[in-house]
A and B are shown apart, each in its own frame.
Chain A
């Protein structure tokens, strides 16, 4: 039963870690993102 309790706590930790990882990944992506992607086709309507 201890294993199952640890697994439930592990689920909560997984959500938290994934949240931190997602936020870090998107911020890193945005920091290195040029205002307009020069290599990409098309424009950014509404941006």
Chain B
């Protein structure tokens, strides 16, 4: 296989996975948040017996169901792609990555799927209390499902609770609890699910604004807007806190991602945060002074956000590439050399095994044994850079800076906007003047796409920002991809584009039709 063909496989496989994930994430966040909003509404119906709340709950439940069904289709394809496109990755870390995925499927998804059936078809067939429990369990199940998927994703960003086995050339889980309760996993779960709550709240206030603009079903629209604005406001504020926590994680575990997010080229103490700026083309970006055409900076804020210390040193892209001995940062070239030493030990082991040289095999196994001093030294000085050994040049460790930089600002800017939007909506709802502000209702309606763009931007920061790594520092994409023909990945890429676009168009059409139909009319007495 030619090198160019091989690179195409990586590129096409990345494109296919990214495209599937982007489509999947169009459906998931609404499920995460709308499930709870529906549960809140049905609880009011359960407590008051007011049929208005039953009709309101059923209306939003219809939209939830459409979204859920189409979301599942894209999610299943993602899981298959681990095997088809990323088989080396699946071999290398399947023992760890498979566990949370299996729990997600067996526990959370089954729970969600079982109770969703009662939620949709159980009205007037089961008791009100049992139906309410099914609705809550569907919402909780959807969020638990997200927990396990995000635990798996977080492990790729911060591989904890694992040990490398030379005999199998695989990573094996040493502590389930370290994987589940790693700081990155919990921060990622809280940040991601909360972003889903904000998106769902924007969806509900946006659709409610449409009803108010059309001057129909106004009580349903206003009450839904109150509930969603409260849920959205609290979630958006919480989102800011979890974002801060995630920032600290990134500074500690993925310094290159942080440097790319900030287009931060030269490390410094008391680093400023670029609130906004326009980047120069790549060739012109070599240091902090020439990286931007213009920028607005907030002094010391990057150090504060990264390490909660105004004078902390934040390494830049140049420090990470060239090394900074003063700060104890190795150059990427040095890491590549050390990674190659670790990979070389695997070749030594394979040769020894072929020769039947048990002593040589044991010598290599000893180097990867964390229970001995020699093993710990080797793991710390060489194996931790294992993935670098697959790279051909230090420049490969720098992600797409403009994409990550601008995506981060879209995400944060939209988050601040949503806090203001929910607060303004609540004030105007209580003042009874919301329906006089028709321009605001239009703004609220057109905020729905912004919520989706912001949510996708967050994932772009997380995933593009960690390139070239599939598993941070241990496995780059170039070593994780399946050895298959680039043409076949390309063909399936376009098939999936057509399929998912059709699904998306179908979802939007069915959703808008159901929204136009509106909630059930009250029965005449």
Binding site for B on A (CB under 8 A): 1, 3-5, 7-8, 11, 14-15, 17-19, 21-23, 25-27, 29-30, 32-33, 37, 39-47
Contact = CB atoms under 8 A, between A and B. Distances in A.
Given A22-B231, A39-B436, A46-B521, A29 B218 contact: no
A30 B230 contact: no
A41 B521 CA distance: 21
Task: Assign chain B's interface to a size class.
Answer: 35 or more
Interface stretch (B36-44, B122-130, B272-280): B36-44
Nearest to B197: A18
B40 A19 contact: yes
A24 B525 CA distance: 30
Interface in B198-217: 215-217
B255 to A, nearest CB: 22
22 contacts: A1-B178, A4-B185, A5-B181, A7-B190, A8-B186, A15-B36, A18-B230, A19-B40, A22-B40, A22-B227, A22-B230, A25-B227, A25-B426, A26-B227, A26-B230, A33-B222, A40-B432, A41-B215, A41-B435, A42-B435, A45-B216, A45-B217
Given A11-B190, A14-B234, A41-B215, A26 B223 contact: yes
Given A4-B182, A7-B190, 4 more contacts: A18-B230, A23-B44, A27-B44, A42-B215
A3 to B, nearest CB: 8
Given A7-B190, A29-B223, A41-B435, A46 B215 contact: no
Contacts of A27: 44
A15 B136 CA distance: 11
A42 B217 CA distance: 11
B235 interface: yes
A30 B223 contact: yes
A25 B425 CA distance: 13
B44 A26 contact: yes
Contacts of A8: 186, 189
B218 to A, nearest CB: 5
Shortest 8 CB-CB distances between A and B: which pairs?
Answer: A42-B215, A4-B181, A4-B186, A40-B435, A22-B230, A22-B227, A26-B226, A25-B230
Contacts of A11: 189-190, 193
A23 B216 CA distance: 23
B523 to A, nearest CB: 11
Contact of B432 (A1, A18, A39): A39
Nearest to A46: B521
A47 B518 CA distance: 13
Nearest to A1: B181
A23 B187 CA distance: 28
Contacts of A26: 44, 223, 226-227, 230
Given A14-B234, A37-B218, A45-B216, A23 B43 contact: yes
Contacts of B177: 1
Nearest to A34: B432
Interface of B: 36, 39-40, 43-44, 177-178, 181-183, 185-187, 189-190, 193, 215-219, 222-223, 226-227, 230-231, 234-235, 238, 426, 429-430, 432-433, 435-436, 518, 521-522
A22 B181 CA distance: 30
Nearest to A27: B44
Nearest to B213: A42
Contacts of B433: 39
Contacts of A33: 219, 222
Contacts of B522: 46-47
Contact of B216 (A29, A40, A46): A46
**Residue in A22, A41, A43, A44 whose Cβ sees the most chain B Cβ within 10 Å:** A22
Given A37-B218, A37-B432, A14 B238 contact: yes
Contacts of B187: 7
A18 B181 contact: no
Contacts of A4: 181-183, 185-186
A40 B429 CA distance: 12
A5 B190 CA distance: 12
B182 A37 contact: no
B190 A44 contact: no
B152 to A, nearest CB: 16
A39 B183 CA distance: 51
A7 B183 CA distance: 10
A33 B432 CA distance: 8
A32 B223 CA distance: 12
B418 to A, nearest CB: 15
Contacts of B238: 14
A47 B430 contact: no
A1 B433 CA distance: 48
A37 B212 CA distance: 12
A17 to B, nearest CB: 7
A37 B435 contact: yes
Contacts of A45: 216-217
A15 B435 CA distance: 29
Most buried by B among A33, A37, A46: A46
